[in-house]
């Protein structure tokens, strides 16, 4: 008799979400832990095992797990290894699939976290029925999952689709964790928004509620709260961020002509503060042949469900 459940794990740079998922895509139970809490990968896996087994036991799912699927930064679907986790606190490469399989005694498959989110969106979200779309995840970093003709694009080595590391500013760009400068991630992630806030506060004299905060501790949530309260500088930070992302999407459109871009992650909760400048910059910069043909959508799946569900789909693939 086939085992009725899989485990889906979404490993982000800040948090790791996980859930028990059935064959219909129902999340039976879920929880999360802090990714960077531990100084080494072994302690992290120990806590992950403890917390996952807690919900497995609570839901009478012992011996009913078919496999484990994981979405993680720079995870290679082909090798099962995190090759260069620029937003993770541990040295790489990490043979994550083997480590998890050994700890749980259950087969494990991994993929890039943004690819996992794209799989979840294609199966359960706004991309249902679409054969060509690009998922953009806006979290601690900027990730992407590219689907062409109904297939996830991995490339020959498993690393295709790192659009967060397309260089947006060739001269005097911000240093990125990947080792290059000017990457999209350094401007349009949650941490990028905070960096923009610090730059604006240091180089401009505008009055702003953000000046009441410790400049080195400002977060994207602080910028959002100030913008909602009517702070002009905070709104300009969102305009700046959205314009860069909109320009990037216009460039991304030319190589795969997607039906839609699906945006997912914390920054999308900012609503029109971020979406309006994105759409304006996209419309201004898109090639004429693509104008009016490509939608920019926000994920309908709550919180990390897209990535957890997408990762869980890999759990059915294990042999």
What's the average model confidence in pLDDT over 136-152? 93
In CATH, what number is assigned to the domain containing residue 229?
Answer: 3.30.420.40
Alpha carbon distance 69, 261 (integer Å): 24
Render pLDDT for 218-227 as a digit per residue (tens, 0 to 9): 999 999 999 9
| pLDDT of 211 higher than 90 | yes
Residue 124 domain-assigned?
Answer: no
Alpha carbon distance 259, 161 (integer Å): 17
**Residue carrying the six token digits 């994981």:** 70
259 in the same domain as 160: yes
162 in the same domain as 311: no
Print the domain residue range for 88.
5-119+304-315
Share of the chain above pLDDT 70, in %: 98
Residue 48 domain-assigned?
Answer: yes
Render pLDDT for 19-63 as a digit per residue (tens, 0 to 9): 999 988 899 999 999 998 888 999 999 999 999 999 999 999 999
135 in the same domain as 51: no
| pLDDT of 305 higher than 80 | no
165 in the same domain as 229: yes
Domains of the chain: total: 2
156 in the same domain as 51: no
Residue 172 domain-assigned?
Answer: yes
Q: Residues 74, 84: contact at Cβ < 8 Å?
A: yes
62 in the same domain as 156: no
155 in the same domain as 112: no
248 in the same domain as 100: no
Mean of the per-residue pLDDT values for the chain? 93
Residue 184 domain-assigned?
Answer: yes
171 in the same domain as 53: no
176 in the same domain as 54: no
User: Which range (67-81, 179-193, 300-314) has the least confidence?
Assistant: 300-314
232 in the same domain as 208: yes
249 in the same domain as 225: yes
What is residue 303's predicted lDDT score, i.e. its pLDDT?
62
Residue 217 domain-assigned?
Answer: yes
């Amino acid at each position: 008799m086939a085992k009725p459940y899989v485990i889906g794990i979404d490993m982000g740079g800040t948090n790791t979400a996980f859930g028990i998922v059935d064959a219909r895509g129902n999340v039976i139970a879920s929880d999360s832990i802090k990714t960077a809490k531990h100084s080494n990968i072994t302690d992290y896996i120990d806590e992950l095992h403890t917390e996952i087994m807690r919900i497995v036991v609570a839901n009478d799912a012992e011996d009913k797990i078919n496999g484990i699927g994981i979405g993680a930064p720079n995870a290679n679907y082909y090798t099962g290894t995190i090759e260069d986790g620029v937003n993770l606190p541990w040295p790489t490469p990490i043979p994550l699939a083997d480590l998890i399989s050994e700890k749980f005694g259950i087969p494990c498959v991994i993929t890039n976290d943004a690819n996992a989110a794209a799989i979840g969106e294609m199966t359960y979200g706004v991309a249902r029925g679409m054969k060509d779309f690009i998922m953009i995840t806006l979290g601690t970093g900027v990730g992407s999952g590219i689907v062409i003709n109904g297939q996830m694009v991995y490339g020959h080595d498993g690393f295709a689709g790192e659009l967060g590391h397309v260089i947006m500013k060739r001269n005097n760009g911000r240093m990125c964790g990947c080792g290059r400068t000017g990457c999209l991630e350094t401007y349009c992630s949650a941490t990028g928004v905070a960096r923009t806030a610090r730059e604006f506060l240091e180089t401009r004299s505008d009055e702003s509620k953000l000046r009441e905060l410790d400049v080195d501790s400002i977060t994207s949530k602080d910028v959002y709260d100030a913008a909602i309260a009517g702070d002009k500088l905070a709104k300009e930070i969102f305009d700046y961020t959205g314009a860069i992302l909109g320009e990037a999407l216009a460039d991304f459109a030319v190589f795969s002509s997607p039906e839609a871009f699906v945006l997912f992650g914390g920054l999308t909760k900012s609503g029109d503060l971020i979406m309006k400048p994105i759409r304006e910059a996209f419309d201004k910069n898109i090639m004429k042949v693509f104008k009016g043909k490509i939608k920019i959508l926000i994920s309908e799946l709550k919180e990390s469900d897209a990535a957890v569900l997408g990762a869980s789909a890999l759990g059915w693939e294990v042999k």
